[in-house]
Amino acid sequence: MKKRVALFVILVLATVSCCSCYYSTEIKSNEVGLKMNDGVSVTEVVGAGRYTDLGLYADIVSIDISTKKIVLALDDVSTSDKQTVGLEVLAEVSRKSDEESVRNMWKNYNAVARSDEQLASLVQDLLRSPVNKVSTQMTVDEMLGVAESEKTRSTMESDIFSLLSPLLESRGISLSAFQVMNISVDPQYQAKLQEKSTAAIEIELAEQKARQLQKQLEQEQAQTEIDLEKARRANLVAEEEAKVYETSKEAYELKRLELMKDMLGESDKVYFIPEGADITLFLGSEKPVSIQ
C-alpha cells in the first residue's frame, strides 16, 4: 500500500513539473502580465495582482514598465561648421502598458520586452538618425551656447526629442525626457574657443574701463560747467554792485565806511578821512596814518 501511495505522489509531481501551469504568481505594480494558455500566444494582458492557471500549457510572463534612465554616448557627431563632437545624453524611457503596445512589443521586439540591456541598445540604435539630423543644422558654438543665436542646447534637446519620440512609440516605448549632458569637442578647437573666450573677457573689461572713464569725464565736465556758471553769476553780481556804487553816492559812502570798519577793527581811536581821499593808503600800512 505504501508503495502505491509513493508511486502516486511521484506521478503527480512529475506531471506538475512537466506542465507550464502557474499558481498565485505575482505581477507587481511596475509590471504588466501576459497570459498564454498555450504557452506561446498572448491571450490576455493583465495588471498588478496574483494569478493562477492550472492548465497544462498555461503560462504567464511579466514585463517591466517602470521608467529607465539610460545614459548613452555618441561619437563622431557632425556639425554644420564641419566640426566633429561627442555627445553624452540621458534618455528616460519606459515600456508602454496599454494592451496594443504590449502585444506589439512581445511579438516584434520580444528581446526588448524582456531585457533592459536590449532596451538600451534599441534606444541607442534609433538615436543616431535624429541626432545627426539636428546636429548638422547647428554649429559647435550654438551647441555650447557661446554663439548669439536662437539655436541653443535646449532647442537641440527639444528637436531630438521630437524626432526620437515617435520612433520609440511605434515600438511600444514611451520617451518621457531627453537631455544632452555633455558635449566634447576637438582639443584644438577647445584651445581656440578658450582663446576666443579670453579675448572676449579682455574686450569686456576694456569696455567697462572705457565706460567708467567716460562717466568720470562727464561728471568732471558737469562740475566744470557748474563752477563756470557760479563764476559767471558772481561776476554778474559784482557788475550789478559796481553799477550801484556808480549811480548811488549813498551806497558808495556806505561801502567806504564798511571797509574802514573792517580795517580799523576794535580800535578806540577815531580817524577823520576827508571826502574823496583814497582809503587804500591805509590798507598797505601796519599803522593807520592820522590826517590833520
pLDDT at residue 286, as a whole number: 46
Query: How far is 63 from 34, CA to CA, in rounded Å?
Result: 8
pLDDT at residue 226, as a whole number: 87
Domain assignments of the chain as residue spans, ordered by start: 20-63, 68-185, 190-247, 248-283
pLDDT at residue 74, as a whole number: 92
pLDDT at residue 129, as a whole number: 95
Cell of 133: 539630423
pLDDT at residue 183, as a whole number: 92
Structure letter (DSSP) for residue 97: -
Query: How far is 9 from 16, CA to CA, in rounded Å?
Result: 11
pLDDT band with cut points at 50, 70 and 90 for residue 216: confident
Question: Is 248 in a helix, a strand, or coil?
Answer: coil
Query: How far is 122 from 105, CA to CA, in rounded Å?
Result: 12
pLDDT at residue 194, as a whole number: 64
Q: Which tops the pLDDT comparison, 23 or 198?
A: 23
pLDDT at residue 206, as a whole number: 76
Cell of 215: 562717466
Q: Is the pLDDT of residue 14 over 50?
A: no
Query: Could you give the residue ranges of the DSSP H alpha helices within 136-186?
Result: 140-144, 153-169
Please, how many CA atoms are within 13 Å of residue 258, restricted to the half-sphere of its CB? 6
Query: How far is 292 from 91, CA to CA, in rounded Å?
Result: 116
pLDDT at residue 16, as a whole number: 46
pLDDT at residue 252, as a whole number: 67
Q: What is the pTM of this model?
A: 0.61
How does pLDDT run across 28-46, given as a tens digit for each residue? 999 999 999 887 889 999 9
φ, ψ for residue 265, nearest 5 deg: 65, -130
Q: Which tops the pLDDT comparison, 186 or 84?
A: 84
Mean pLDDT of 69-89: 92
Domain formed by 68-185, architecture: 2-Layer Sandwich (3.30)
How does pLDDT run across 218-253, given as a tens digit for each residue? 888 888 888 888 888 888 777 777 777 667 777 667
